[in-house]
Amino acid sequence: MYRAQPGFSHVDAEGRARMVDVSHKSDTERIAVAAGELATTAEVVALVRADGMPKADVLATARIAGITGAKKTSELIPLCHQLALSKVDVIFGFTDTTITVEATAKTTGPTGVEMEALTAVAIAGLTLHDMVKAVDPAATMNGVRLLRKEGGKRGRWSREAVVEQVGVRTDDRSAVVLVASTGGARGTREDTTGPAIAAWLENKGFSVRGPLVYADAEISAGLEDALTGGPALVISTGGTGVSPTDATPEATRAVLDRELPGIADAIRLEGTKVTPHAALSRGLTGVAGRTVIVNLPGSPGGVKDGLSVLAPIIDHLIAQVVGDGLHETADEK
């Protein structure tokens, strides 16, 4: 369990700024994950997704800028230590009117890499702003925050754990959309199911991260990414069939604490009203911690059928998972 230390570490006993001496600390593997969002217009999001901005290759430029920013953190923030970074990864997702940014920084050393992850998000976001300002000068970079960090004698810290420790209920209207698509991850195939799910969730009042697009072979990493921060709901699309590369159910089962087979069966049944092929879906539904995970097929029709099943039950389901749902039926009230 991570335990916070009293006082500001970068201020000495006389109140003067100082660089912390870490020479006595042991080298351990350190990881930090941070996130933020660029709020913009639907037009900008569409242009970026289609690589149609006047300044081309927007995401690649922002990704390189974020990585560069992480590497230069000690030059930008005066009291940060110089670190030998072993990994910096910057990924992007989309909602109708935001571009989400998430950065992971990793090193082996005597001090953490949270500032490097945060700087990567901030610089990537500012670069996005620079790239899109010709279309939307009012774009805003919001919510730059640390999601989790690991390493050192203090162990693991997560934003979700802090929320639980202070007795505040985790946000039960947060959702992540995850897409299993090798072609989508490579940029050779346009995904329409992820944005459709995101729009459906937003219409129901959820704050949405994603769609996060991962190749079929990397869906386990995608699910780990989606679960970062402990959202109330993760809806995946794709990878539920019986082809050799379909691995979403296996990745999902590995993280579930409890399965909800009735929902998965209802989604299949709804699909078979349109096509008998819906019976081939191996999608799962269940709960991982306090997160509901729902696997939907990769076809637009399969997504539509799945969302129609979820529509009347999703609010009650999420309320039950966090302990607020009532078990009696309408007839019992």
203 burial via Cβ count (<10 Å: 0-12, 13-18, 19+): exposed
Phi, then psi, of 75 in degrees rounded to 5: -85, -25
Collapse the DSSP code of 98 into the 3-class scheme (helix H, G, I; strand E, B; otherwise coil) and give the result: strand
Q: Catalytic positions, please? A: 130
More confident residue, 169 or 307: 307
Residue type, 316: H
Cβ neighbour number for residue 26 with a 10 Å cutoff: 9
Q: At what angle do helices 300-310 and 193-203 cross, to 10 degrees?
A: 20
pLDDT at 12: 60
pLDDT at 305: 92
pLDDT at 49: 86
Mean per-residue pLDDT, 180-203: 88
C-alpha count within 13 angstroms, C-beta hemisphere, residue 79: 12
The rounded distance, in Å, linking the Cα atoms of 297 and 279 is: 11
More confident residue, 224 or 169: 224
The rounded distance, in Å, linking the Cα atoms of 8 and 125 is: 28
Kindly report, residue by residue over 193-251, the tens digit of the pLDDT. Answer: 999 999 999 888 888 898 999 999 999 999 998 998 888 999 999 999 999 999 999 99
DSSP 207: E
8-17, 186-195, 305-314: range with lowest mean pLDDT: 8-17
DSSP 17: B
50-59, 117-126, 150-159, 200-209: range with lowest mean pLDDT: 150-159
More confident residue, 161 or 187: 187
Could you tell me if residue 50 is left (phi over 0), alpha (psi between -120 and 50 degrees) or otherwise beta? alpha
- Whether residue 282 contacts residue 249, with contact meaning beta carbons closer than 8 Å, is answered with yes
Could you tell me if residue 308 is left (phi over 0), alpha (psi between -120 and 50 degrees) or otherwise beta? alpha
- Judge whether residue 125 has pLDDT over 80: yes
DSSP 80: P
The rounded distance, in Å, linking the Cα atoms of 51 and 56 is: 6
* The two three-digit tokens of residue 292, written as one number: 């509901």
DSSP 222: H
- Judge whether residue 154 has pLDDT over 80: no
- Judge whether residue 328 has pLDDT over 70: no
- Whether residue 246 contacts residue 282, with contact meaning beta carbons closer than 8 Å, is answered with yes
Kindly report, residue by residue over 230-242, the tens digit of the pLDDT. Answer: 889 999 999 999 9
- Judge whether residue 170 has pLDDT over 50: no
pLDDT at 90: 94
10-14, 22-26, 58-62, 281-285: range with lowest mean pLDDT: 10-14
- Judge whether residue 323 has pLDDT over 60: yes
For residue 170, list its beta bridge partners. Answer: none
More confident residue, 96 or 54: 96
pLDDT at 40: 92
For residue 180, list its beta bridge partners. Answer: 214
Residue type, 92: F
Given pLDDT bands bounded at 50, 70 and 90, which one contains residue 131?
Answer: very high
- CA–CA–CA angle 273, 277, 278 (5° rounding): 60
131-140, 160-169, 261-270: range with lowest mean pLDDT: 160-169
The rounded distance, in Å, linking the Cα atoms of 22 and 109 is: 10
* CA-based end-to-end distance of the chain: 42
143-147, 186-190, 210-214: range with lowest mean pLDDT: 186-190
Q: Name residue, tokens 């992971």.
A: 104
Given pLDDT bands bounded at 50, 70 and 90, which one contains residue 97?
Answer: confident
* The two three-digit tokens of residue 320, written as one number: 């039950």
pLDDT at 281: 92
pLDDT at 206: 87
- Judge whether residue 107 has pLDDT over 60: yes
Q: Name residue, tokens 């300002």.
A: 133
- Whether residue 143 contacts residue 126, with contact meaning beta carbons closer than 8 Å, is answered with no
**Percent of the chain at pLDDT exceeding 70:** 83
pLDDT at 163: 45
- Whether residue 36 contacts residue 129, with contact meaning beta carbons closer than 8 Å, is answered with no
